[in-house]
Amino acid sequence: MIKKRKIITVAIDSPAAAGAGTQAKLIAKHYNLLHLDTGRIYRLIGKIYLENPKKFNFTLIKKKLKSLKMRDLQKKSLLTDEVAISASILAKKKQIRSLVHKFQKKCAYSPPNLYSGSVLDGRDITSIQMRDAMFKFYITANIKVRAIRRFKEYKSLKKKVSYKDVLKSLKKRDKSDKSRKYGPLKKTKDSILINTTKLSRKRCFKKIKAIMDRKLNLNGNL
């Protein structure tokens, strides 16, 4: 059992390309929180497998997670389609998920003392990983808007892909995320819905900040 200290905890779930990662970074910066994009962990594991499938095993992953630095999750090499496919396959393995969940909980409830708390974004953060988080958000957007955002992101990375293919891929991803056996994507009853379809990054953060400040002020934490 991980010992919990009095910290700010923020849990965010969202479908792909809804803007959750961007908002998590803004929240982390403003409130001095440790930010963990949980999907990046699976991508890192997927990349490790692709680099040397013959040497890939449970012990190796356990060792990698133990020495993992947050900067390791920021590498652009984790954003390839090959890594995404590999990550998706490995994420279904119970042993892998168990290891990742332990790492996530440590980040969520025992962040380094230099941080005032933590913010995690992913698919099962509000429903499984941080059920008792101080703040729980479900960030979403119209799928066509999400497809445009992802298409623009790919273009900035000079990836040759069509909007139609991106839309098709997101629909497939949504179906997979919401129907998977372990930790399916869903909005919990106590999560606050944030729809970013017509919101800019700035306006979205302003909305989230107002919600957080209201509660933190009431609790005397600011």
Q: Pick the closest to residue 118 from 26, 193, 11, 2 (CA basis).
A: 11
Rg (CA), the chain: 17
Degrees, nearest 5: CA angle 201-126-86: 80
∠ CA(107), CA(109), CA(110), 5° rounding? 65
Q: Distance between CA 122 and CA 129 in Å, rounded? A: 10
What pLDDT was estimated at residue 193?
Answer: 98
> For the whole model, what pTM was predicted?
0.90
C-alpha span between 26 and 35 (Å, rounded): 10
**Residue 123: both structure tokens together:** 């698919």
Locate the domains of the chain by residue range: 17-209
Give the residue from 162, 71, 88 showing the smallest Cα distance to 123.
Answer: 88
The DSSP letter of residue 90 is H
Q: CATH says 17-209 is which class?
A: alpha beta
Judge contact between 50 and 86, C-beta under 8 A: yes
51 contacts 86 by C-beta, under 8 angstroms = no
Q: Is 10 exposed, middle or buried (0-12, 13-18, 19+ CB in 10 A)?
A: buried
Cβ neighbours for 83, distance < 8 A, ≥ 6 positions apart: 43, 46, 47, 50, 77
**Quick one: which of 132, 117, 108, 107 has its CA closest to 221?**
117
Supply 84's token pair. Answer: 């995404």
Looking at residue 88, its pLDDT comes to 84
* pLDDT at residue number 79: 83
For 195, the token pair is 């729809």
Question: Residues 14, 125: contact at Cβ < 8 Å?
Answer: no
Give me the tens of pLDDT residue by residue for the chain, a chain 222 residues long: 555 568 999 999 999 999 999 999 999 999 999 999 999 999 999 999 999 999 999 999 999 999 998 899 999 899 887 898 899 889 888 899 899 999 999 999 999 999 999 999 999 999 999 999 999 999 999 999 999 999 998 899 888 899 999 999 999 989 988 988 888 999 999 999 999 999 999 999 999 999 999 999 865 554
